[in-house]
Structure 1
């Protein structure tokens, strides 16, 4: 699925979301960037070294430490091609810190991230990819 909209005023915007990769508009490096493994993105940072598990079923609260360190007001968890909810403990890791969490398939997560970042919201997306 290809996403199109005006040039963003934030550093990273989703452009293409596929089953096993994502392409970003990368304003930091003035181009595009393809990512093939799980990552975390905020409007101003792309963290490609997120040690995420292969599936949402294996996700633990400890895996969220990197995304929570970004101090977002909302975490968007992209769970692959289909929406799959993580354990209550994972949801609680955000909610007990008064950080919202929304769980979506990766396409919906990308669209939501672009919209909220474009509004200037303090949002972070944690995206699970099979690679």
Structure 2
């Protein structure tokens, strides 16, 4: 059996994530970040999903997604209702899950050509 390495046709691809780090392209990230197929924003200033404010979504929303994926660390932790409502009021879906699940979901959606943006939270 021959195996071929296929690289995505977009700039930033997420190889995986867990509660302490993520691998974007060939870089290991250990601080919260935002990623889309065309943009990587490092040092996203969110250390806890439970204390997020609507303003914390500005960097994600500026990328004009149709869907936001929020990875909240090793465990799923929903942000306050006002944060969820901010997305829904703009017609943008938001999915909240662990970092590992968020990485898988982001990768599938990006490979389908969807306008997806993901935020990954690591403790500050």
Q: TM-score, normalised by structure 2?
A: 0.91
Deviation of 1:88 after TM superposition, in Å, equals 0.8
2:28 counterpart (6, 23, 34):
34
Deviation of 1:44 after TM superposition, in Å, equals 0.7
Give me the whole-angstrom Cα distance separating, in 2, the residues matched to 1:85 and 1:6: 34
Deviation of 1:90 after TM superposition, in Å, equals 0.4
Structure 1 segments of 4+ aligned residues over 4 angstroms from their partners: none
Give me the whole-angstrom Cα distance separating, in 1, the residues matched to 2:16 and 2:94: 23
Aligned to 1:102: 95
Aligned to 1:24: 24
1:59-98 alignment runs, 5 A limit: 59-98=52-91
- Give the gaps of 5 or more residues in structure 1: 26-31
What SS does the corresponding residue of 2:100 show, helix, strand or coil?
helix
Deviation of 1:96 after TM superposition, in Å, equals 0.4
Deviation of 1:6 after TM superposition, in Å, equals 3.6
- Give the gaps of 5 or more residues in structure 2: none
Q: TM-score, normalised by structure 1?
A: 0.86
Give me the whole-angstrom Cα distance separating, in 2, the residues matched to 1:42 and 1:18: 18
1:47 counterpart (41, 46, 54):
41
Aligned to 2:115: 122
